[in-house]
Amino acid sequence: MTSGALIFAIQKSIASAIFALRKKVEDIRKDIIAFAKTQSSRARSTNDHANGESMALIKCSECGTEISDSAAACVKCGAPIEVARRQARDSNLTTVLPSASGNKKKGAGLALALCVALVGFVVILIELSSHDNSNVAAPSVAASASMPDASTSVQPGPTVAAASAAEARAASEAASASEAEAEEAARHNYTTEQEGEYGYQSAISDDDRRQGIAAKPLMMVRYRGVIDGRTTIDQQASDGGVMRVDCKEPCDFLRLRLMVGGQTIHTETLPNDPQTLGGEMMDDARNGKLKVYGAK
């Protein structure tokens, strides 16, 4: 039997016990009422007896001498007998009625104690079920008393459903973030890579189109890494010269140098436009898309 089914069975038993307890309390109440009526009848009989239906001996309230309850005054001290008669009647009533009252209080106290104990047990059981079976909603005592079909399924509570939805959203967001990172890692601006050099495609201008130029040769460059704090890219010329493009963080400007034999022949500084060929090269270099030329 699963934990949920065990709790369900226990709560069903509790509901039956509460029903039986209510019936028992009602029976006790009826017994108390019947007992009170009986004692009241006895009290009335005692009162009638004290009023003279039969003769009895009573004690004088003044001297304590036993005299007839029908006498008008004490034969010894002369005290009126009406006072003694009333005291005797009151004494009889107080000895009869408290018995019924005490039994009633005792029965009510017992019923109250049983109710408190059962309520405490139910509270403890529900608390345990919330820890041991947190993903199952505990059926109520009223539902248990109605004896539902055993095939009834238990639905998850609102707190568990909300937690599951939050976990699903977090997992979906994590998956989307991973996909975005993978796409970013795969994205680059170069068209091809050949023997450590990267080829970039120059854009076709309107003048090129008017001249019938449909495509231009790729610009092959070599990434040199960071030299003297500047990200550096070289383009080798056929005559042995080098066109070097470099920038220093945050790379708002690009420095172009024409170098021959290691000597700088000409220098220009241009804004770093991400839409230009130089901007695309620097974007790849600064984001780790290019490997240093000659590095293994």
Rounded CA Rg of the chain: 53
Q: Give the Å distances, CA to CA, from 190 to 21, 26, 177, 237.
A: 85, 91, 24, 19
- 3-state SS class at 194: strand
Q: What is the mean pLDDT of the chain?
A: 75
Model confidence band, residue 220 (pLDDT cutoffs 50, 70, 90): very high
pLDDT at 148: 47
Domain extent listing, the chain: 3-145, 192-286
Percent of the chain clearing pLDDT 90 (strictly above): 23
Residue 293 has pLDDT above 80, yes or no: yes
Chain segment 221-279, per-residue pLDDT in tens: 999 999 999 999 999 887 788 999 999 999 999 999 999 988 999 999 999 998 888 99
- Number of Cα atoms under 13 Å in the Cβ half of residue 63: 12
Model confidence band, residue 285 (pLDDT cutoffs 50, 70, 90): very high
Residue 135 has pLDDT above 50, yes or no: no
- 3-state SS class at 176: helix
Q: Which one is predicted more confidently, 55 or 199?
A: 199
Q: Which one is predicted more confidently, 283 or 98?
A: 283
